[in-house]
Amino acid sequence: MYVAVKGGEKAIDAALDLLARRRRGDDAVPELSVDQIDAQLSLAVDRVMTEGSLYDRQLGALAVKQARGDLVEAAFLLRAYRTTLPRFGFSEPLDTARMALARRISAAFKDLPGGQILGPTFDYTHRLLDFALLAEGRPSVTDVVRHAAGEVQPAMPRVTDLLADEGLIERDGDMTGAPADITRDPPHHPAPRDARLQALSRGDEGFLLALAYSTQRGYGGNHPFAGEIRYGEVAVHLHVEELGFAVDIGDIEATECQMINQFKGGGDVPPQFTRGYGLAFGHAERKAMSMALVDRALRAGEFGEEAASPAQDEEFVLSHCDNVDASGFVQHLKLPHYVDFQAELLAVRALRAAFQDKEAAQ
């Protein structure tokens, strides 16, 4: 009887073997390559890189493959690898005004310097299953798209900068000094905005999406306008101590969202709009927009707003937005708890015996 719980070692080996077979699937179907995942499931790779906090397309694609398409599991794989890497320092702030743009839209102005660029977006697709994709090997790209695909738009000013020049919106945050590093230091509350933004940036897209949605439905509303959403390539500069200046260490793809929110002012500050900010690796608009809404919601205290809704509750949001934490702890319930359960059984049986004694005595 007791033998039933023995043999853990053999069982684990067998489970690993089964998992590997399931991952590969039917041998009659060609194996998926990491390059194919990177190229054709690129948004999955983008999400995994963002939530895994590591910009590396090849490793992101490898993680997606290894995790059998489970993106939360893939982000975990990337995190566990990331944590073993040495930390050289922190980059200069990304200058997203100098982003080589593939897409740029503003919902606040009809037209603006640089114009509106739709780029590769799902927005105006009719969500009809394209059965043509069932047939493989068919080029379905039109001439117009082929022509535009290689085209990258030159840098153009950010909408928020145009507004800030007139004093209509608050300035960007203070960027002097070393930023917080939530990967090295334990959290404390209230957390500074840089630490909050880091946590939101790697936070679970689904969780942030739901929180952002709740603010739109009255749970801590902050009246947003999508000031600008831009996606493209931006250079990363690292200040090198030995050289005494910053060098360009490469480009990354990123999506930035600047939300323009209800104006504030009073006292000696003239009325002006406030900001919510979102940034994600790759092309991830849903994530960047959700992050911007939640960022602004978490600034309620800063602007003297009532903070009674979940999205405005810093401890609640920051403690629960990480899916590596959440997934691990929810799923740890699969681990044996029979010692604790036995202790509870003893307690309940003792209580029931006492209850029955009392009943009998009456």
Partner 1 sequence: MNDAGEPGYNFAYLDESTKRMIRRAILKAIAIPGYQVPFGSREMPLAYGWGTGGIQITAAVIGADDVLKVIDQGADDTTNAVSIRRFFARVAGVETTERTAEASIIQTRHRIPERRLSDGQILVYQVPIPEPLRFIEPRETETRKMHALVEYGAMHVKLYEDVAAHGRITTSYNYPVLVNGRYVMSPSPIPKFDNPKMDMMPALQLFGAGREKRIYAIPPYTPVKSLDFEDHPFSVERSDRPCALCGATDTFLDEIVADDRGGRIFVCSDSDRCGEQRDQVASGDGAAP
Contact residues: partner 1, CB under 8 A: 1-2, 4-9, 11-12, 76, 79-80, 82-84, 86, 183-190, 315, 319, 324-325, 327-332, 335-340, 342-347, 350-351, 354
Contact (Cβ atoms closer than 8 angstroms) between residue 101 and residue 153: yes
- Could you tell me the smallest distance in angstroms from the CB atom of residue 5 to partner 1? 7
Closest approach of partner 1 to the CB of residue 301, in Å: 13
**Burial per residue of 172-209, b for 16 or more beta-carbon CB atoms within 10 angstroms, e otherwise:** eeeeeeeebebeeeeeeeebebbbbbbbbbbbbbebbb
Of the two residues 246 and 345, which places its CB atom closer to partner 1 in the complex? 345
Token pair 């007139």: residue: 166
Residue 259 forms beta bridges with which residues?
226, 276
Residue closer to partner 1 by CB (options 146, 337) is: 337
Give the shortest CB-167-to-partner 1 separation in angstroms: 35
Q: How far apart are CB 270 and partner 1 at their closest, in Å?
A: 34
Provide the token pair at 205: 């897209």
Q: CB 112 → partner 1: shortest distance, Å? A: 42
Q: Single out the residue of 279, 286, 282 nearest to residue 94, CA to CA.
A: 279
Scored b (16 or more CB within 10 A) or e, 240-279 reads eeeeeeeeeeeebbbbbbbbbbeebeeeeeeebbbbbbbb
- CB nearer partner 1, residue 7 or residue 192: 7
Cβ closer to partner 1: 247 or 348? 348
Shortest Å, Cβ 298 to partner 1:
15
Question: What whole-number distance in Å separates Cα of residue 17 and Cα of residue 306?
Answer: 54
The Cα–Cα gap between 39 and 149 comes to: 14
Write the single-letter amino acid at 312.
Q
Q: Are 47 and 281 in contact (CB under 8 A)?
A: no
CA-to-CA distance for 119 and 103, rounded, in angstroms? 5
Nearer to partner 1, 85 or 128 (CB): 85
Which is closer to partner 1, CB of 49 or CB of 159?
49
For residue 293, give the nearest of 357, 169, 210 by alpha carbon: 210
Is the Cβ of residue 67 or residue 101 nearer to partner 1 in the bound state?
67
Least distance between partner 1 and beta carbon 331 (Å): 7
